[in-house]
Structure 1
Amino acid sequence: MPVKNNIAALRQSPGQNGTSFHGCIRNLYINSELQDFRNVPLQVGILPGCEPCHKKVCVHGTCHATSQSSFSCECEGGWSGPLCDQQTNDPCLGNKCVHGTCLPINAFSYSCKCLQGHGGVLCDEEEMLFNPCQSIRCKHGKCRLSGLGKPYCECSSGYTGDSCDKEISCRGERIRDYYQKQQGYAACQTTKKVSRLECKGGCSTGQCCGPLRSKRRKYSFECTDGSSFVDEIEKVVKCGCTNCLS
């Protein structure tokens, strides 16, 4: 329904004395010359002519001229205010966006912006997230993602290749660690780290990868029960393909 009138005003310039004029001026003559305000620069608040509805003054409604200098706005549904710019209904109150955010479309309807991993009109459907590791197969290893999100195979010991399907030939891998032994109920280990080879890889001849040569050295051990002793350790110094132990 129409709301209160708004007046199209003609105002004096700042700094001038007198009272501002509110209303409409027609057929203004200066020195017997008719003045046309449409052809001169106008200040804020001054409208050319006496047509209050010549501009889109009602944001969400229809303008109706009530006189030569005033108008009223007939607002659309869901809008109010003198210029029909105030929303009377929030469509997101009581919204049904399960996993998302409500975005108003107009006074009566809304849409749902879904969180990652969810879809559907109401964001109530789970979406299958793409797993890059589904695109590759690691036969003897595990799929990992690089810093750029690209999948690659991290192969188990003894295997190589993009798909970890190639067996590495028998080789000796040098390690340096404590050598441990069980002495009765006590756990014992060397007092210093021992450098030795571990045989890794496979053999295509049906043989097994194992030590071909080793040497024995004496090392001191300390145990959890406070005892200590000296014993020999057989250190592997060369690996290769040999008959498998039954």
Structure 2
Amino acid sequence: MVDKSPNYSFMNNLSFLIYSPLSGLFCENPPPMILLQTSPCDQSDCQNSAQCLVVAGEPICRCIPGFYGNKCDKISTVHFLGRDGYVELPGTKLRTTALISLQVATEKDNGILLYKEDHDPLALELYQGHIRLIYDIANYPPTTVYSVESVNDGLFHTVELLIQNRSLSLVVDNGAPKSLGKLARQPSMDHNTQLYIGGVPPQVVASGLRPGPERSPQTFDGCINNVRINGDTQDLSFRSTGRGQSQGVESKGDGILVGCHSCSVCAQGTCREAGEMGVTCECPPGRSGALCDETTAPNPCQNNRCVHGLCVAKGQSYSCQCNEGYQGQYCDKEQEPPACRGHSCGRGECHVSEAGEPVCKCQPGYTGPTCDTEPTCQGEMVREQLKRHQALRTCTSTSKIPRVDCPRSCQASAPPGVCCGVTKTRRRKVVFRCTDGTSYSEEMETTLECGCSKCPL
């Protein structure tokens, strides 16, 4: 704490009044600088509700589902509502050879997924639940090929389009490629090419994508995720014409939401509504990934039997790395001290005394220097008539019944917790005669032997 009370200093009959936090004879010393400890995340610029983590001393943004990028400022997942929305990607990233891939999730039957707009257009469409590749659109009938796989089950499916060597190939969910065969010319790719995702502008429909027999172009209704061109993830940021907000990519976004807002995309687990950011999937054990669509190998250490040690996973099994002083497959046995090596403790364990000597700690019921002696107790043979006092009569056994009476304690050398008790009995029939002249017989247990064992609780 800084003392702010005035201090007086005197020199050559002159006095100086000093107020803290300045110090010195002439108040010439400023207070020391106090540096506040800050986190690297204090200067980070994580966007869209991303969490900042410090990894190796550097701030890292952990994006929520639907976003990517160093600052989580780019969109990877959008939900089209079927209301004339579309995202336009610049064609400058396209080359003569191109691999375009995207993931699609919908429960609808028809809609535009991708359209290449130039003087040589082509389209990927959802048609009757399957994927259709259309080329040479300006002519009728156009050149088309269909996927065998249906994709309108609400889950995400991967669609790939390969443009290479005067050929077009369609692959769905890593299945067999469907090709249009050898084309008359190489499909064009240049700086004038534009790609539309999820729909197209009205002028494109009017010019190159005119409806024809068996064709009725319509905006896609569902989720599109992870659009890649030659391996590079494309930013699906869009501009909402209703709000006048632009995020750098030409589009019409009145019918588009960030993230996926359909619970059907969760392959397994529980779907949770996340407000404006769509839904999140909470995965069950054995599943992982944003959509719970990835299989996770079970953790072999989940139910391990390591008692005093650390479980180390080895493929689908595990081993126990024992703590100091323990051994055995499951680290459940105390390590034998060096002083105990060669010292036998039959029914016990060897310990080292304060003097450094090996001493046997015996199990209950055993005694002796090497725990190989069972303490004994000698019972006393007793013969006596038995009496039974009942209502309005007393009954007495017709003969003296022999039995062994066990003392409570064992020998003085017995360890603590060991008591004398019955170890062997015999069932016998005893005849009783009563004072009212009646008689009856009864079976009963009689003690034959006594022995030392653990005291009852």
TM-score (norm 2): 0.18
TM-score (norm 1): 0.29
